[in-house]
Amino acid sequence: MNSRSIIHKDSKIGKNVEIGSFCSIGSNVSIDDNCKIHSNVVINGNVTIKKNVEIFPFVSIGSIPQDLKYKGEKTKIIIGENCKIREYVTVNLGTKGGGGVTKVGKNCLLMIGTHIAHDCIIGDNVIFANHSTLAGHVIIENNVVVGALSAIHQFSRIGEGSMIGGMSGVTADVAPFSTVMGNRAKLSGLNLVGLKRSRFKKVEINELRKVFKYIFYSKDKTLEDRVKKIKNQKIKFYTIKRILNFLDGETRRSFCMP
């Protein structure tokens, strides 16, 4: 512990936690074992930080939401194990109307200037490049990469294993294992690099390519009809099932299309 930091007596600090100079740790903060908090970090509100998290200077976690509907209700933030949170990242508390929790999963990397707004739910192994910004209520599934200077619209869903190109404006749901990019992001194909890195077998990737092309690029009837046609077939591959389930899931947005 550093004597030049302000650490509330009611905060819970685990074993082998390093806290640098000029930090402020609030009363409802819980920091688990083996975390490293660099200098000039502010953590307030009801915040739980799991094991082995490293937080770099000038990060703010637990400030109130940038939502005029927020009236001081008790909400929280959960940061999963093994995350790295780089300089100038901001993570806001949840709101009562949005479920009350802002959550970041395990093994995530939040690069410089990333903003996680109220009630966002982030999966595991997600990478946010510099100055990625999420509006409220965004859901990001596991193994997603968000490119630098990208912005994601509120209530959007970003499917598992997808990739957002740099400087993209995402205003609709992004299907699993896809790539999108552009000022108003459009579907640009499968995330083949991500699929190979995740060690999906060639036979599955080849079958996924056929299904993906039919669902998103075919002119046969409507998107709903095409999804229904694929669902009526015998599906054995995980990736295809995930896309079908995602497209059937509850959404408040449209889908990114070519």
pLDDT for 3: 77
How far is it, in rounded angstroms, from Cα 199 to Cα 239?
Answer: 12
pLDDT for 163: 98
Radius of gyration of the CA atoms of the chain, in A: 20
CA-to-CA dists, residue 241 to 141, 161, 200, 224, 232, angstroms: 15, 13, 14, 15, 12
The pTM assigned to this predicted structure is 0.96
Percentage of the chain surpassing pLDDT 70?
99
Q: Are 119 and 137 in contact (CB under 8 A)?
A: yes
Among candidate residues 94, 119, 161, 194, the one labeled active-site is: 119
Residue 198 pLDDT level (bands cut at 50, 70, 90): very high
Count of positions (residues) in the chain: 258
Residue with structure tokens 């640098």?
20
- Active-site residue flag, 173: no
Whether pLDDT at 155 is above 90: yes
- Active-site residue flag, 113: no
- pLDDT tens figures, 122-136: 999 999 999 999 999
Q: Are 101 and 65 in contact (CB under 8 A)?
A: no
Q: Are 115 and 85 in contact (CB under 8 A)?
A: no
Strands 186-190 and 178-181: what pairing? antiparallel
The domain 6-137 is placed in CATH, from the list 2.160.10.10, 2.140.10.10, 2.60.40.1180, 2.60.120.260, at: 2.160.10.10
Q: Are 83 and 53 in contact (CB under 8 A)?
A: yes
Q: Which helix (H) or strand (E) holds 210?
A: helix 202-217
Residues sharing a CB contact under 8 Å with residue 217, sequence separation 6 or more, in sequence order: 258
Residues sharing a CB contact under 8 Å with residue 197, sequence separation 6 or more, in sequence order: none
pLDDT for 250: 87
Nearest to 67 by CA among 154, 126, 162: 154
Nearest to 59 by CA among 32, 34, 29: 29
Among candidate residues 45, 62, 113, 136, the one labeled active-site is: 136
pLDDT for 18: 97
**Conformational region of residue 97, where left means phi above 0, alpha means psi within -120 to 50, and beta covers everything else:** alpha
How far is it, in rounded angstroms, from Cα 198 to Cα 177?
Answer: 11
- pLDDT tens figures, 204-236: 999 999 999 999 999 999 999 999 999 999 999
Mean pLDDT of the chain: 97
Percentage of the chain surpassing pLDDT 90?
97
Residue 34 pLDDT level (bands cut at 50, 70, 90): very high
Residue 149 pLDDT level (bands cut at 50, 70, 90): very high
For the chain, what are the domain ranges?
Answer: 6-137, 195-248
- Active-site residue flag, 136: yes
Among candidate residues 20, 62, 105, 118, the one labeled active-site is: 118
Nearest to 138 by CA among 157, 163, 125: 157
Residues forming beta bridges with residue 146, ordered by sequence position: 128, 164
